[in-house]
Amino acid sequence: MVEQVNSFAIKTKNVSVHYGNKMAIDDVTINFTKNDVTSLIGPSGCGKSTFLRCLNRMNDVIESCKVQGEFLLNGVTDIYGDSIQVETLREKIGMVFQKPNPFPKSIFENVAYGPKIHGLASTQSELNDIVMESLNRAGLYEEVKDRMDDIATGLSGGQQQRLCIARAIAIRPEIILMDEPCSALDPIATARIEELINELKEKYTIIIVTHSMSQASRISQRTAFFHLGKLIEHGDTSKIFTKPDKEQTNDYITGRFG
Amino acid sequence: MIYFALLILVIISYLFYFIGKKRALNLKFNGNIKLSSQPDYFGYYVVLMALIPALLMWFGLLLFKGNFQEMFVMSPILFPDISTWSDGKLGLILNKLNNLSVIVNLPLDDLTNGEKSILNMASENELTAAKKLANFDKIYGWSNLTLFIILPIILGFLATRSISGKLNAQPIVEKIITYIIKGSSYIAILITIGIFLSLVFEAINFFRYVNPVDFFFSTGWNPNRAFVVDASEGFDKDDLENAFGFIPLLTGTLLIATVAMIVAIPLGLMSAIYLAEYASKRVRDIAKPIIEILAGIPTVVYGFFAALSLAPFIKDVGESVGLPVSAESALAAGLAMGVMIIPFVSSLSDDVIKAVPQSLRDGSYALGATRSETIKKVILPAALAGIMGSFLLAVSRAIGETMIVVMAASLRANLTFNPLEPATTITTQIVTSLIGDVEFDNPKTLVAFALGLTLFLMTLLLNILAITIVKKYREKYE
């Protein structure tokens, strides 16, 4: 396993997160390789979602939340530093949430929202292209091309989630964070999203929190196992799921706890 | 007496609930009988069976008390010429006898001088009748009490005895409860219809004197002209032309309401946005109740604030820049009213904005939107229906507001759209037409009902509009 310094999309070091006095993440150090899918797995409440939300500073709005440690984007930019604005950061690190959350606007407006805010298109036709391309890449274009002006909340759950993915990639991020994106979907919609994730990794670095170990093994190249706020083990998915180094990981993988 | 009886009724029903439930449980566990309802329902069953007939009879007695009294005391023996009395006179005499009956049996020493003179002025027959009436009231009270105690107890015991494996209490209880809640909503509807009809009938009375076309479309408002002509000679419709023109009142109302909305909408909406999106929890917890206090200030206080502080201030400022400002400007009344309705806008909009799911905010932030972009492009559009609803509610409140305009607006009808001039409103004119010595066969008085009806229809229309808008957007956004 050869890794070069600049092949990391995000490097973190000694990360701790507190909610008030309660420790949620305890001294986690982990690096995410570029153009890989990394799964964060672990039992409920282990801190994997909290950790994910630290990466694009979504925890900023929670008043009691305190984040410590080092976060480097592409090995150089301090994510929590003064040199980068949180809006610019989130332009580079997109996010897809557990529950599909399309805006109560038209399908077109949902995807165009980000590009409009960041001024990615100078003309209407450029904007149309971005929207079309994003929907295409999210595998949704064929299904919605005749009803771009319909309200997005009228789509099915799976379509809504793919729309949210299209919305996220419309601003051309480098990294996409996904917080259990399939937990509210049925198996068929889940399969479509997994397929999509597999295609997206060509262009993006994807970090995904998942409850389903079979999903983690299907879609990810790297897997990190969290337990009680600590990173227990991190490595190639094939290794984690076949010969993990730690007993705890083995117990979780084989379903003995969690 | 009646309160005592009601208290006893409550206690009786409480006891019967347990008796009924106990008997059901007894049958179930000791008698080994399979019950067709839960034990609770047998408790309710007994209570309802015991209570409802008594309450119905009490209501009936209350309704016909006057008739009973009349039958009891208004005999031709005491009042020989009773057959010639009109209904009005009959009512008056009965009322007088009722007052007498309270004092007629008291010892003279306990009476005030006023009461003594009332007794002295009454005729012998009237005193006899009053004494009879006092007796009647006593009997009536006792019979009520007995009714309240004896009847429920008998019925309750009968109902308890009827509990058996065959009795299915649940559907009976649920049916009765359904009737009760149905009845409650019908009562509210009936009252609304009643108020509306009384307005309509009096308004029709008014339109017998004044041509509706004249009322709705003429621009002159001089209701005192109706006094110039003696009512007994009958009104000539030509005399009243241009006396009851509704237009200047409508423009005055709209002018003042517009000023109020210009104040309330931006201030209310912006404070709602601040409270919902920017303020820390501590600030919000303190600021929100304080803003809501504005809604709790009696409107009469706003009225003299507008009349005594705001109006002179506006006049001074206006004159210092060379603008002619009336002492009773529409601006002063509108400003005070605007302040009053700020909390309607801010509180409702704040709730609506807070109700926009956090997931939408997260979605917008995750796309790199700033807070203000999120508010402008996601939150406000999503909350639009509710915000519009709060605006329309505030408008109908502004149009219906009375006290502020009575105190701060002018009484003179003035067809103008200049807020620096005086203007009067529909509500102000309703009040002025009903105060003082009023006769109900004069159009000057009756116009209040026509105005009230129009106002009612206006606010009704606004509410329908509000509901339609809210519905339309809700379908779109959900």
SS3 labels along chain A: CCCCHHHEEEEEEEEEEEECCEEEEEEEEEEEECCCEEEEECCCCCCHHHHHHHHCCHHHHCCCEEEEEEEEECCCEECCCCCCCHHHHHHHEEEECCCCCCCCCEHHHHHHHHHHHCCCCCCHHHHHHHHHHHHHHCCCHHHHCCCCCCEHHHCCHHHHHHHHHHHHHCCCCCEEEEECCCCCCCHHHHHHHHHHHHHHCCCCEEEEECCCHHHHHHHCCEEEEEECCEEEEEEEHHHHHHCCCCHHHHHHHCCCCC
Q: Would you say A163 and A110 are in contact if contact means Cβ atoms under 8 Å apart? A: yes
**10 Å Cβ neighbour count for B444?**
23
CA distances from B124 to A60, A197, B78, B111 (A): 90, 104, 9, 19
Interchain contact B366–A (C-beta under 8 A): yes
> In this structure, are strands A37-41 and A175-179 parallel, antiparallel, or unpaired?
unpaired
**A-chain residues within 8 Å CB-CB of B369?**
87, 113-114, 117
Interchain contact B285–A (C-beta under 8 A): no
All structural domains of chain A with their residue ranges: 5-253
pLDDT tens per residue, range B375-419: 999 999 888 888 888 898 889 889 988 888 888 888 888 888 888
CA–CA gap between residue B251 and residue A212 (Å, rounded): 67
Q: What angle do CA B305, B337, B433 make, to 5 degrees?
A: 90
Contact B359 A153 (CB under 8 A): no
Long-range contacts, stretch B435-438, CB < 8 angstroms, 24+ apart? none
Q: Which residues of B376-404 are buried (b: 16+ CB within 10 A; e: fewer)?
A: ebbbbbbbbbbbbbbbbbbbbbbbbbbbb
Contact A102 B363 (CB under 8 A): yes
Phi, psi angles (nearest 5°) of residue A211: -95, -20
Contact B365 A58 (CB under 8 A): yes
**Exposed (0-12), middle (13-18) or buried (19+): which is A187, by Cβ within 10 Å?**
exposed
Reported ipTM: 0.91
Interchain contact A181–B (C-beta under 8 A): no
Q: For residue A253, how far is the Cα from the chain centroid?
A: 22
Q: Which of A99, A114, A168 sits opposite B359 (nearest CB)?
A: A99
Q: Which of B280, B366, B476 sits opposite A90 (nearest CB)?
A: B366
**B-chain residues within 8 Å CB-CB of A151?**
476-477
Provide the shortest C-alpha distance from residue B368 to chain A (in Å).
4
Counting residues of chain A whose pLDDT is more than 70, the rounded percentage is: 97
Q: Which of A90, A103, A153 sits opposite B368 (nearest CB)?
A: A90
Look at A221 and B141; give whichever has higher pLDDT. Answer: A221
Provide the shortest C-alpha distance from residue A53 to chain B (in Å).
10
Q: Kindly report the CATH number that applies to the domain delimited by A5-253.
A: 3.40.50.300
CA–CA gap between residue B295 and residue A151 (Å, rounded): 38
All structural domains of chain B with their residue ranges: 2-167, 247-477
Nearby residues of A126 by Cβ (< 8 Å), 6 or more positions away: A120
Contact A168 B367 (CB under 8 A): yes
Interchain contact B355–A (C-beta under 8 A): no
Q: Give the residue ranges of chain B where pLDDT is below 50.
A: 478
Contact A101 B360 (CB under 8 A): yes
Contact B365 A90 (CB under 8 A): yes
Evaluate whether the domain defined by B247-477 bears CATH number 3.50.50.60.
Answer: no
Closest by CA to B378, choosing from B271, B267, B261, B273, is B273
Q: Would you say A132 and A166 are in contact if contact means Cβ atoms under 8 Å apart? A: no
Nearest C-alpha in B relative to A117: B369
Q: What angle do CA B447, B453, B459 make, to 5 degrees?
A: 135
Closest by CA to A234, choosing from A68, A3, A79, is A3
Q: Which of A61, A105, A117 sits opposite B373 (nearest CB)?
A: A117
Phi, psi angles (nearest 5°) of residue A12: -125, 150
Interchain contact A56–B (C-beta under 8 A): yes
pLDDT tens per residue, range A159-195: 999 999 999 999 999 999 999 999 888 888 899 889 9
**A-chain residues within 8 Å CB-CB of B360?**
101, 103-104
**A-chain residues within 8 Å CB-CB of B281?**
63
**A-chain residues within 8 Å CB-CB of B366?**
56, 58, 90, 94-95, 97, 168
A 21-50 → B contacts, CB under 8 A: none
**A-chain residues within 8 Å CB-CB of B381?**
104-105
**A-chain residues within 8 Å CB-CB of B476?**
104, 151
Q: What is the mean pLDDT of residues A252-258?
A: 74
Contact A97 B362 (CB under 8 A): yes
Interchain contact B475–A (C-beta under 8 A): no
* Model confidence band, residue A197 (pLDDT cutoffs 50, 70, 90): very high
Nearby residues of B7 by Cβ (< 8 Å), 6 or more positions away: none
Provide the shortest C-alpha distance from residue B262 to chain A (in Å).
29
Q: Is the pLDDT of residue A114 over 90?
A: yes
CA distances from B301 to B292, B304, B395, B404, B428 (A): 16, 5, 20, 8, 16
Q: List, in sequence order, the alpha helices (H) in B279-379.
A: 281-296, 299-304, 311-320, 330-355, 358-366, 371-374
Residue B229: the pLDDT is 56
Residue A3: the pLDDT is 47
Which helix (DSSP H) or strand (DSSP E) does residue B55 occupy? Answer: helix B39-63
